[in-house]
Amino acid sequence: MTVLYEDNHLIIVNKQAGEIVQGDKTGDTPLSEIVKDWIKQKYNKPGNVYLGVVHRLDRPVSGIVLFAKTSKSLPRLNMMFANHDKIKKTYWAIVQNKPANPKGTLTHWLTRQEKNNTARAYDREVPGSKKAILDYELIASSERYHLLEVHLHTGRHHQIRCQLAKMGCPIKGDLKYGAPRSNPDGSISLHARNLTIEHPVSHEVISITAPVPNDSLWLAISKVVNK
């Protein structure tokens, strides 16, 4: 965990693939507890540390995670994330198949498959589905892989993973959505790259970028970004 930004109301960290944001049935220590311990030690705080979970990243995904440090900021942040208001999230995804169009907007209707914890994308509305919209752009290529920049208009379960797979471009390492093989470290090549948000208290605009994971493919392909 690396802290990217902190003030009295917010803390933004760069999550590593494999870390969980909140506790689950695995019993592994979640990122929320790691951040609490970091705050407690940094400020020598007695007693419990307040920390609100605003959003989540899937366990195999890396990148920006925002937490609320005060009860004043948490409901405001929750509202912003729920309504996608005054907030912009940018993701980078490495795929093996080059998209037919270098940029575009994907609109699908997603259903959640509880049994195997996946989502399924449809081209039209079906019972129980939720509309999912994202923009993508091809921003770099290597001999074998392509880097897509993704902007979300909605926040659905496994949205990027599912919609890119539906387009024929499953994310590298994402076996659940059709990647041919896993990544050695169990990650998938999806990274929450940037968060631009209006501060819930000061109303200043904050833009934070998370460095890509420290592995050879991420470092190599990010060096040739053509933007």
69 token code pair: 């440090």
227 domain-assigned: no
Residue 81 confidence (pLDDT) above 80: yes
Residue 58 confidence (pLDDT) above 60: yes
Residue 85 confidence (pLDDT) above 90: no
Neighbours of 37 (CB within 10 A): 12
130 domain-assigned: yes
Tell me the C-alpha to C-alpha distance, in Å, between residue 225 and each of 64, 76, 202, 209.
Answer: 19, 34, 33, 15
Spatial CB neighbours of 131, under 8 Å, sequence gap ≥ 6: 107, 108, 109, 125, 154
Q: CA-CA distance, 16 to 62, in Å (whole number)?
A: 5
209 domain-assigned: yes
Residue 220 confidence (pLDDT) above 70: yes
pLDDT score for 226: 56
218 token code pair: 């991420």
140 or 85: which leads in pLDDT: 140
Q: CA-CA distance, 144 to 180, in Å (whole number)?
A: 14
pLDDT score for 200: 94
Note the pLDDT tens digit of each residue in 168-178. 999 999 999 99
How many domains does the structure of the chain reveal?
Answer: 1
Note the pLDDT tens digit of each residue in 109-165. 999 988 889 999 999 999 999 999 999 999 999 989 999 999 999 989 999 999 999
pLDDT score for 46: 86
Residue type at position 60: P
Q: CA-CA distance, 131 to 109, in Å (whole number)?
A: 4
CATH of residue 185: 3.30.2350.10
Boundaries of domain holding 137 = 2-222
Residue 204 confidence (pLDDT) above 70: yes
90 domain-assigned: yes
Note the pLDDT tens digit of each residue in 9-51. 999 999 999 999 987 777 789 999 999 999 999 999 888 899 9
127 domain-assigned: yes
101 domain-assigned: yes
pLDDT band at 1 (very low <50, low <70, confident <90, very high): confident
The H or E element containing residue 42 is helix 31-42
The mean pLDDT of the chain is 94
